[in-house]
């Protein structure tokens, strides 16, 4: 059976061709990265609650879009987690996720105040576009790198969703009635969100997904170590053009030419940084 390479919005778990799973094509390093990604995606309800506070009082269609985004993100986590459970029966998505949630809760997710930590709704949408640029490129890279047909399909479906999410947040950014923010402010927010990729979310998700609970005492969590391992696992799937596409999407949202000199320079610098992290 040939799986279509283009996927539309609204797919379900039942649409995935699970019967095509080929255990001989599972790459162990990619499996470790997918396990970690499943936990991050599955954590979408916290992001939904936060974004609804940011957009408190906004039109119902914005709230509905946020809710739909969250449902799709959580489904990404379930799909990746189910694939990981098939590939490695010792992995349990719900158990790993419970450990992740227990040890990782950003302060602004737990806060009750309305408003964005980025200073405005426009700033929040710039940050969200940065995230969706990263996830769209990442799952595109997994799709292109994986030889296992079910993971290739799941990654293709998720990559298409993430690109649509980028467009949703980009359109929401430009539809805000509040004053626009400057190019430099947008760039600062974007760079700040990129730097946040070094926080505990990715490192701790990798730890919870790949270190079983019975080994916690002999293998304690350290951010530096597991950030490095997570980076190494992720970089196995990337090629230069995936990184450049990511950069072009970010450059567009800050208001510069996605095919200009800034995009080319930023793409080269980011590729060098990611390559160094994976060494």
Contact assessment for residue 247 and residue 271, using Cβ atoms and an 8 Å cutoff = no
Q: What is the pLDDT of residue 5?
A: 64
- Structural domain contains residue 11: no
Q: What is the pLDDT of residue 273?
A: 79
CA–CA distance, 23 with 269 (Å, rounded to integer): 37
Which of 37, 27, 257 has the alpha carbon at shortest distance from 147? 27
Entry field: residues in the chain: 279
- Structural domain contains residue 126: yes
Q: How many structural domains compose the chain?
A: 1
- Domain CATH number, residue 134: 1.10.620.20
Contact assessment for residue 146 and residue 22, using Cβ atoms and an 8 Å cutoff = no
Contact assessment for residue 81 and residue 158, using Cβ atoms and an 8 Å cutoff = no
175 sits in which H/E element: none
- Structural domain contains residue 109: yes
- Structural domain contains residue 3: no
Task: Tell me the two tokens of residue 81.
Answer: 């987690």
- Structural domain contains residue 116: yes
Cβ contacts of 273 within 8 Å, gap of 6 or more: none
Which of 68, 37, 39 has the alpha carbon at shortest distance from 52? 68
Q: What is the pLDDT of residue 109?
A: 64
Which of 209, 166, 197 has the alpha carbon at shortest distance from 72? 166
pTM listed for this prediction? 0.92
- Structural domain contains residue 153: yes
Contact assessment for residue 208 and residue 99, using Cβ atoms and an 8 Å cutoff = yes
Contact assessment for residue 136 and residue 166, using Cβ atoms and an 8 Å cutoff = yes
* Residue 228 structural domain: 22-278
Q: What is the pLDDT of residue 4?
A: 44
Give me the helix-helix angle, 240-254 and 183-195, nearest 10°. Answer: 140
Backbone angles phi, psi at 238, to 5 degrees: -80, 145
Q: Match 């996720």 to its residue by tokens.
A: 97
SS3 238: coil
- Structural domain contains residue 14: no
Which of 165, 117, 116 has the alpha carbon at shortest distance from 138? 165
Give pLDDT tens digits along the chain (279 positions).
344 466 788 899 999 999 999 999 999 999 999 999 999 999 988 889 999 999 999 999 999 999 999 999 999 999 999 999 999 999 999 999 999 999 887 766 665 567 788 989 999 999 999 999 999 999 999 999 999 999 999 999 999 999 999 999 999 999 998 999 999 999 999 998 888 776 788 999 999 999 999 999 999 999 999 998 998 898 889 889 999 999 999 999 999 999 999 999 999 988 887 777 666
- Structural domain contains residue 5: no
Task: Tell me the two tokens of residue 264.
Answer: 């080319």
Which of 48, 47, 57 has the alpha carbon at shortest distance from 178? 57
Burial of 277 (0-12, 13-18, 19+ CB in 10 A): middle
């Amino acid at each position: 059976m040939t799986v279509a390479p283009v996927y539309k919005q609204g797919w379900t778990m039942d649409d995935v061709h699970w019967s095509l799973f080929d255990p001989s094509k599972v790459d162990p390093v990619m499996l470790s990265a997918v396990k970690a990604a499943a936990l991050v995606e599955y954590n979408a309800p916290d992001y939904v609650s936060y974004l609804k506070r940011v957009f408190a009082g906004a039109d119902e269609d914005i709230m509905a879009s946020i809710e739909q985004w969250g449902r799709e993100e959580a489904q990404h986590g379930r799909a990746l987690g189910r694939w990981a459970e098939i590939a490695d029966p010792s992995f349990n998505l719900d158990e790993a996720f419970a450990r992740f949630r227990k040890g990782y809760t950003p302060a602004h997710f737990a806060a009750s105040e309305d408003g964005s930590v980025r200073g405005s709704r426009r700033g929040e949408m710039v940050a969200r576009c940065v995230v969706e640029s990263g996830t769209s490129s990442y799952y595109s890279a997994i799709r292109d790198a994986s030889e296992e047909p079910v993971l290739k399909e799941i990654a293709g479906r998720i990559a298409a969703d993430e690109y649509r999410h980028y467009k949703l947040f980009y359109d929401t950014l430009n539809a805000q009635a509040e004053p626009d923010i400057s190019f430099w402010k947008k760039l600062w927010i974007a760079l700040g969100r990129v730097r946040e990729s070094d926080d505990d979310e990715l490192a701790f998700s990798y730890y919870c997904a790949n270190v079983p609970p019975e080994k916690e005492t002999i293998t304690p969590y350290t951010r530096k170590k597991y950030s490095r391992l997570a980076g190494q696992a992720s970089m196995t799937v990337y090629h230069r053009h995936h990184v450049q596409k990511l950069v072009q999407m970010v450059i567009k949202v800050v208001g510069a030419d996605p095919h200009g000199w800034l995009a080319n320079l930023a793409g080269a610098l980011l590729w060098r940084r990611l390559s160094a992290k994976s060494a």
